[in-house]
Amino acid sequence: MPHNNASPTRGADSATPQSLIDELEDSITKQNMRQRAAVMRRVTDLFMVSGAGFSEEHIAMFDDVMSRLVSAIDSSARAELGERLARCPTAPLKTSQILALDDEIAVAGPVLTHSERVDQKTLVETAKTKSQEHLIAISQRSSISEAVTDVLVERGNAEVVANTAANPGAKFSEFGCITLVARSQENSEIARRVWARPDIPRHHLLSLFAAASEEVQRQLETTDRQKAELYRYMVAQAKNQVQTQIREGSEAYAAARPYVESLHRAGQLNEERLRAFACDNKFDETTVALALLSQLSVGHVERAFVHDQVDHLLVIAKAIGLSWETTKAILQMRTVPGGGNGQDLGRHHASFTKLQQATATSALQFYRLRARAEAQLESLT
């Protein structure tokens, strides 16, 4: 086999970098910072022009010396070096890590944002220990791993979190998603950006909408009304499921429902029975009776009681032909504070009297249609 005498340090092409390396080594032993910066600049120029053709051995040689020199030059020279090396695909690895960890954002910023030679360990360390400006620089990278975004969304300020959430190249772990939702609750900018991401699991978006302040919810609706309406419905469904579980586990409800249903089948469930249930403060019997008479779900009627939807109850009562005395007894059962005080009842009586039965009947039909539509939507989600 013929022997190849070529070596990375021989020939015209290699003589130039070798002589510069020698000069660079020499500058390290001297105290002239200006000379160090000048030599570093010449080495950087060589990298930018010919670095792609250097062997790994050459690059490692440069890296060894440059990484020792970089801490011995002033911040302006380091910043220039960082700017030059940030987009260099063959930039010296060790030198790139040092620049990324520099306390000066002018030095670290370009490297943190653009360099593909900075490894995940260095990015995580920087995110955990450096300034918010460093975190902003990292949040602008073309791709960010879950380990890095975990730190950014937990430690970063609002600008960092918003930038990270808006970055299509950012990936989020389960912890990251939970933290994003928590940070979104009172910050509409973060919430809008999280809301717009297609990769955030649906249950986290559901949590976001459920926990968000009213202002944030309005912002979400402005961003995507159709999507917001879907998740508003999903939040309501989640609450309804909890409500159903509580109701189904109640011994009082378990006894009341079959009894009231038997009255209904026998044709004995009338206004007199309903008023007696209400006057005796029998919540389960009253809600089941109203549900059967109005052809609505028990959950629908319960929510009208629990969530202070007086108008809803007035419409149901008027539509099924109840008198004011029976309606008043039902309103006095409401679980909200002051639900049955005289002033409120007087106002509700006026509304009940004004409400036409034909109008209430149309509204009740709408409630039924909406309930069917929600059931169909639930089957598709």
| Residue 343 resides in a domain | yes
| Residue 84 resides in a domain | yes
CA dist 236 to 250, 272, 352, 375, 376, Å?
Answer: 21, 33, 28, 12, 15
Number of H helices, E strands in the chain: 23, 0
Q: Mention every residue, 6+ apart, whose C-beta is less than 8 A from residue 284.
A: 250, 252, 253, 255, 256, 257
DSSP conformation class of 55:
-
| Residue 240 resides in a domain | no
| Residue 303 resides in a domain | yes
| Residue 192 resides in a domain | no
- Average pLDDT per block of 10 residues along the chain, 381 residues long: 38 49 63 77 79 78 85 91 93 95 98 97 98 98 98 97 97 94 88 88 71 68 72 63 66 90 96 95 91 90 75 94 95 59 81 94 89 62 48
| Residue 49 resides in a domain | yes
Query: Is the alpha carbon torsion for 320, 292, 299, 250 positive or negative?
Result: positive
CA dist 152 to 42, 66, 139, Å?
Answer: 36, 30, 7
| Residue 365 resides in a domain | yes
> Of the candidates 80, 69, 82, which has an alpha carbon nearest to the alpha carbon of residue 25?
69
pTM: 0.58
The total domain count for the chain is 2
Residue 180 CA from chain centroid, whole number = 4
CB < 8 Å & 24+ apart, contacts of 144-148: 144/169, 144/170, 144/171, 145/120, 145/171, 146/171, 146/172, 146/173, 146/176, 147/120, 147/173, 148/120, 148/123, 148/124
For tokens 């772990």, the residue is: 173
Q: Choose one of 78, 101, 124: the last residue of a domain.
A: 101
Q: Choose one of 80, 101, 122: the last residue of a domain.
A: 101
- Taking the C-alpha atoms of residue 121 and residue 143, their distance in angstroms, rounded to an integer, is 15
- Taking the C-alpha atoms of residue 373 and residue 237, their distance in angstroms, rounded to an integer, is 13
> Of the candidates 131, 62, 48, 124, which has an alpha carbon nearest to the alpha carbon of residue 93?
62
What is the pLDDT at residue 9?
38
Q: Which domain holds residue 326?
A: 250-380
pLDDT in tens, 143-188: 999 999 999 999 999 999 999 999 999 999 989 999 998 999 878 8
Q: Choose one of 85, 101, 117: the last residue of a domain.
A: 101
| Residue 146 resides in a domain | no
What is the pLDDT at residue 339?
45
User: What three-state secondary structure class fits 54?
Assistant: coil
Is 68:42 a contact under the CB 8 Å cutoff? no
What is the pLDDT at residue 8?
39
